[in-house]
């Protein structure tokens, strides 16, 4: 009977240790998730800013190539 009680005590100690380790892993996971969420927000902001800059550059390039003000001036001179 004493051997059985001792074996069960060892199993309880083992379970306790595993629960403690699981708790530590969960806390570390929560910390990583918070950091990932912060990083995702920052990345999203940078992506939006980059998209706006890209649109402005493309618009400037298209306007420089087409020069719509020259077309209007030419029509006014011809007309």
Name the one residue in this structure whose structure tokens are 């030419």: 74
pLDDT-based confidence at residue 4 (cuts at 50, 70, 90): confident
| Average pLDDT over every residue of 4-21 | 88
Range of the structural domain that residue 68 is part of: 2-78
Measured distance CA(10)–CA(16) in Å, rounded = 10
Q: What is the rounded average pLDDT for all residues in the chain?
A: 89
- At a CB cut-off of 8 Å and minimum separation 6, what does 10 contact? none
Number of independent structural domains in the chain? 1
Measured distance CA(30)–CA(22) in Å, rounded = 12
Which pLDDT tens digit goes with each residue over 27-54? 999 999 999 999 999 999 999 999 999 9
Note the pLDDT of residue 79: 60
Which pLDDT tens digit goes with each residue over 58-72? 999 998 888 877 777
Query: Angle CA(31)–CA(36)–CA(39) in degrees, nearest 5?
Result: 130
């Amino acid at each position: 009977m004493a051997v059985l009680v001792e074996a069960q005590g060892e199993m309880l100690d083992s379970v306790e240790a595993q629960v403690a380790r699981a708790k530590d892993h969960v806390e570390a996971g929560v910390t990583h998730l918070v950091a990932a969420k912060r990083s995702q927000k920052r990345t999203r902001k940078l992506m939006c800013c980059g998209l706006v800059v890209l649109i402005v550059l493309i618009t400037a390039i298209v306007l420089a190539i087409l020069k719509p003000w020259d077309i209007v001036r030419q029509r006014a001179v011809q007309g």
